[in-house]
Structure 1
Amino acid sequence: MNSEAAMITILENAHVVDIESGEVLPDRHLVLENGTIREVGEGAASLDKALRIPVDGRFVIPGLIDAHVHATAYTADLSQLPRQSPMYVAARAAGLLKAMLKRGFTTVRDVGGAEFGLAQSVEEGLIAGPRLLYGGKALSPSGGHGDHRSRGMEHEEGAYAQVSLGRRCDGVDAVRRAARDEIRRGAHHIKIMANGGISSPTDRITSDQFCEDEIRAIVEEAEMADLYVVSHTYTARSVARAVRCGVRSIEHGNLLDEETVALMKTAGAYLTPTLSCFRALADVGEASGFPADRRDKIAQVLDSGIRAVEMAYRAGVPMAYGTDLIGPMQERQLDEFALRAEVVAPLDLLRSATATAAELVRMQNEIGHVRAGYRADLNILSANPLEKGVLANFAHHLELTIKGGIVQD
């Protein structure tokens, strides 16, 4: 059912999970008004003319945050995106975003592809979906992870600039212009490709991308706009280069080592592992249409990912929840919980998709907690998420999602 955000909604008899302390606060009521949590109190709330929802002892947690999505990547063959109509891609993206919201994700960070028009459509209620924090197009050097031209292709198709996940820029002046252009378009962060990748046709996993002067120039542009830089990186060497140059958010990090983890901890950098992406590619990549000539790259990073998570977790590096799924594999968005559960405790696993991710996207005073004054982004679960195995079966236990005070159908 839907309710107007301006209406007062009361959640009654709720077990509220305190993300900071790890405590479960029993028999609470939550008063939601104008899209925010007005009150979290004990016992019953005495308010007239309110929509009352009996929670009956179920568990209330913040809405989930996925810090690494590609909302426009409806196909697993990313080289096909530039050949499609931008309007068709937007329609497909609307379906992907609606499905994310149904899984309990109320905020997502897009790190390549989404732009202001899609985010505005969500904010205006034209399409259903999580709050969309976008970076526009990822910046990539020629031949890098954001360059999906084949070896024999000199120029992109005409629609490339509109619907691709990345944009090519080479040299300090060019990367500054590209960063400024994405900032002009309203980017919440700037994404760079600083390492080779799986889906790109002409690079290697081990290749460093962008020289350090280029990375520093992009970081400087972002910081002048009070933004931060997100970096696609696998190898310890590429991660270290990015962190030394001021990158705040490291994506993937599968081939980390202890020395680089210590560097990240000292620098205050965040790690967003994406184990679900590599598992999905290994399991169903071929059936999903992922190009055959790139599947041999998957083995280089698949098994190392969980070891990197374990190293970072032991060292206290803050980790956000991310998935990086493309095409039909996006239905596996909740799998990240089960994959990390092997080495991460339930509370910290839940924090990664709530409070820690909120800190990463600099919205820690708005989302990521069930507190008065925060946005009314909530999930109601039938079981205690702090107990082993519950998060791994999140979809089974999810009973209700509320975004901005509105109950989602």
Structure 2
Amino acid sequence: MKIVKKIGSMLCALGFVGAAQAENITVIHAGQLLDEPGKPPKEAHSIIIRDGLIDQVLPTASFSEQSLGVADGDILEIHNLEDKFVLPGLIDGHVHLTSELNPQGRLQTVQMSDADRAMMGALHAKRTLMAGFTTVRDVGAGTGDAIFALRDATANGWVSGPRIFASGATISVTGGHGDGTQGYRDDIAHMFKASGNSGTCDGVESCRRAVREQVRRGADHIKLTATGGVLSNTAAGTEVQFFEDELKAIMDTAHSMGRKVTAHAHGKNGIDAALEAGVDSIEHGTYLDPESVRLFRRSGAYLVPTLLAGQTVVEIAESPNSFLTPPQRKKSLQVGPQMIEMARTAHDGGVKIAFGTDSGVSRHGDNAREFELLVKAGMTPAEAVYSATVAGADNLGMSDSLGTLRPGKLGDLIAVDGNPLQDISVLLDVEFVMKEGVLYKE
């Protein structure tokens, strides 16, 4: 149940009187509240949000409207979720909002404009938000500006979607995973690179320039492909593709400009090389081994396992109507089945794990399926929730604003019918979504 009150006269409510002091105040009464994942939930607690930021968390029994100090012109919303389990908005650390794997994907690369990509991204963004993910990290969206436009549109409230941290173009070697020109005619490939926004680089100076170019374009972080990948249309394997000096140039340049770096990496040598070079997180990590685990722990880097992507590519590759090219199909059947045990090895070894799905390979809006796979890989439901809240915020460098429901942080929260710490599958059906105190789903 929602109660909305506009306090004061009609002129006050319209903002003509006392506009400078007017506040939007939101109150959530939660039956169970997981305000700090990693700790036990609280019974019958309330959250007070003022102008998008959490102001108080207190027992519902001690709440009173009079204590809010509501003034003329303020708008007060009260949401009764006393039969629900409330927790922080979820964070997906690996998505590709402006695309989704489909039989026409390669054709769409040359058919769709940046504007088309932005419109498609808006659809995917809304589906993601409705699934309970109030923040995402987009890790590579071609060479155009669609993802930056979508990021800014969601921030301005023009489009309903999660908060987006975007990398722009992926830093890749020529012909490597992330160079999206494989299999196209040379003139078409040249057209892709002629925009000047390509992240393709070869050699130390070129790689420094590619990183700086993404920062100039507005990248919030830097994504590189340290190894080959599954869905690149080339039989180049899944091992290391950058040289050591190139990797170090990428890390040093990004860090000097205040950007974190994450590396797509499947093969062990590529994983270890990226960790040695100072990467902040590894995406996928398929063939990590005990030595890799030691490097993770020594560096403090996060692993983002993307188990749902592994399951998805196997399902597509095994389909009699598979639309994958021969190199893609072969790599899917090699890599996908390894990923659950990889996550188990990392978890058992004490590697820090942040939630990420690679949605865009899997369907946008199905992000919560990753939770069940993480639990299958040995995480407890509580650990899986932690990976998508506290750990997800830390991986983004946003622990001061996201991940928990504490005073001073952004008012991002969701509610479900059931306790996800006992049954992780309840997160597949999020019933209530709020971002910065704005209600998007109830």
TM-score by length of 2: 0.86
Give the match for residue 34 of structure 2: 17
Percent pairwise identity: 32
Matched, 1:179 2:207: no
Give the match for residue 7 of structure 1: 24
Q: Cα distance, 1:278 vs. partner?
A: 1.5
SS at match of 1:302: helix
* Matched-pair contact (CA < 8 Å) for 2:27–2:78: yes
Q: Cα distance, 1:206 vs. partner?
A: 3.1
* Equivalent in 311, 321, 326 of residue 360 of structure 2: 326
Question: Does 31-40 or 325-334 show the bigger shift?
Answer: 325-334
For this pair of structures, how many residues does the alignment match? 406
The AA in structure 2 aligned to 1:71 is L
The structure-2 alpha-carbon separation of the partners of 1:241 and 1:81, relative to structure 1 and needing over 3 Å to count, comes to: farther
SS at match of 1:138: coil
Question: Does 305-314 or 153-162 show the bigger shift?
Answer: 153-162
SS at match of 2:294: helix
- Structure 2 unmatched runs, 5+: 7-21
* Equivalent in 417, 425, 438 of residue 392 of structure 1: 425
Partners of 1:294 and 1:371 in 2: CA distance: 45
SS at match of 2:28: strand
Matched, 1:94 2:150: no
* Matched-pair contact (CA < 8 Å) for 1:198–1:298: yes
Partners of 1:78 and 1:181 in 2: CA distance: 26
* Matched-pair contact (CA < 8 Å) for 1:31–1:40: yes
The AA in structure 2 aligned to 1:283 is E
Partners of 2:3 and 2:208 in 1: CA distance: 45
Give the match for residue 401 of structure 1: 433
Matched, 1:239 2:271: yes
Q: Cα distance, 1:164 vs. partner?
A: 12
Q: How does 1:355-394 map to 2 (within 5 A)?
A: 355-387=390-422, 390-394=423-427
* Matched-pair contact (CA < 8 Å) for 1:27–1:57: no
Give the match for residue 313 of structure 1: 347
Partners of 1:166 and 1:339 in 2: CA distance: 34
* Matched-pair contact (CA < 8 Å) for 1:2–1:407: no
Give the match for residue 46 of structure 1: 64
Q: Cα distance, 1:59 vs. partner?
A: 1.2
Partners of 2:338 and 2:84 in 1: CA distance: 37
The AA in structure 1 aligned to 2:40 is E
The structure-2 alpha-carbon separation of the partners of 1:152 and 1:111, relative to structure 1 and needing over 3 Å to count, comes to: closer
Matched, 1:64 2:87: no
* Matched-pair contact (CA < 8 Å) for 2:92–2:136: yes
Give the match for residue 381 of structure 2: 346
* Matched-pair contact (CA < 8 Å) for 1:320–1:360: yes
Question: Does 279-288 or 51-60 show the bigger shift?
Answer: 279-288
Q: Which has the larger radius of gyration?
A: 2
Q: CA RMSD in A?
A: 2.5
Give the match for residue 113 of structure 2: 85
SS at match of 1:373: coil
Give the match for residue 118 of structure 1: 150
Q: Cα distance, 1:61 vs. partner?
A: 0.5
Partners of 1:350 and 1:166 in 2: CA distance: 36
Q: Cα distance, 1:214 vs. partner?
A: 0.7
* Matched-pair contact (CA < 8 Å) for 2:309–2:361: no
SS at match of 2:128: helix
Matched, 1:297 2:331: yes
Q: Cα distance, 1:32 vs. partner?
A: 1.1
Partners of 1:311 and 1:231 in 2: CA distance: 19
